[in-house]
Amino acid sequence: MRTSIALIALLLPGIAAAQLVDDYNPPKAACCQAGPAQQLANTLQDWNQLGRYHADNEKLKAQPAEPGRVVFMGDSITDGWKLTQYFPGKPYVNRGIGGQTTAQMIVRFMEDVINLKPAAVMIFAGTNDIARNNGPQTMAQVQGNFQMMTELAQLHGIKVILCAVTPVSDYGPRPMTTGRPPADILKMNAWLKDYAAKTKATYCDFFGAVVDEKGWLNDGISRDGLHPNDKGYELMAPVLSAAISKALGN
């Protein structure tokens, strides 16, 4: 019943704006509406996906925190990073979730980062904010989200590694620079580098490791102009390793 009421509320603006027509030719309806409706209801209940890593977090919290633990907080680029392959033997924990923006990461920062008691957190985000995954935002609003995560981590004695937003390209099957303008990426990275210096966080320059002469993501190191392939992660891994060593004072 609640799902039905919620769907009616969502549809009301469209109903109010509707007009009578001479010819009945509605859009083709998909089969089995109950399934998509329930999926939408479930998504709205866990919009920040706190449930994604809940069980894994409970297991980690039941054990002593490993020295040198680093949590990888990010979006799909982090989510797809095979940590055991690129950082064998390291106590690194992946908490990336595809499609997420910095606002969603703030809400799960306590559960997915702080409560795991890491020595450091790598924050690698921003590209989905620029792409307006959850609607338009100002640059200042996104910067405020980075500030909140940084201050929360530092308040709990966790070292912070702020990672540059990686460039995108139009070399893939569809252009990426339209939805993620290179100029916005440059502005975000300039701010991240400056903010890291002001707050004694460590800046990790992924951008410089993978950009080409056009300011795009190098051809051949991505499957779609946004997400790195194995060659892309190979270029990024040593940059991050150096940043982690610097942050932890190794």
Give all domains of the chain, ordered by start, each with its CATH number.
81-248 (3.40.50.1110)
> What was the pLDDT predicted at 159?
98
> What was the pLDDT predicted at 4?
47
Q: What is the pLDDT along the chain (250 residues), one digit of tens a residue?
A: 444 445 545 545 544 455 566 776 767 766 666 666 666 666 666 667 788 899 999 999 999 989 999 999 999 999 999 999 999 999 999 999 999 999 999 999 999 999 999 999 999 999 999 999 888 899 999 999 999 999 999 999 999 999 999 999 999 999 999 999 999 999 999 999 999 999 999 999 999 999 999 999 999 999 899 999 999 999 999 999 999 999 999 7
pTM score over 0.85: no
- Can you give 143-162 as a three-state secondary structure string? HHHHHHHHHHHHHCCCEEEE
Tokens of 45: 């209940």
CA–CA distance, 167 with 215 (Å, rounded to integer): 7
Tokens of 143: 């910067």
Tokens of 195: 């903010």
> What was the pLDDT predicted at 204?
98
Q: If residue 12 lies in a helix (H) or strand (E), which one and from where to where?
A: helix 2-16
> What was the pLDDT predicted at 86?
97
Closest-CA residue to 106 (of 137, 69, 61): 137
> What was the pLDDT predicted at 49?
77
Largest CA distance in the chain: 74
Classify the phi-psi angles of 217: left when phi > 0, otherwise alpha if psi is within -120 to 50, otherwise beta.
beta
Closest-CA residue to 60 (of 108, 119, 113): 113
Token match 């989510």: residue? 79
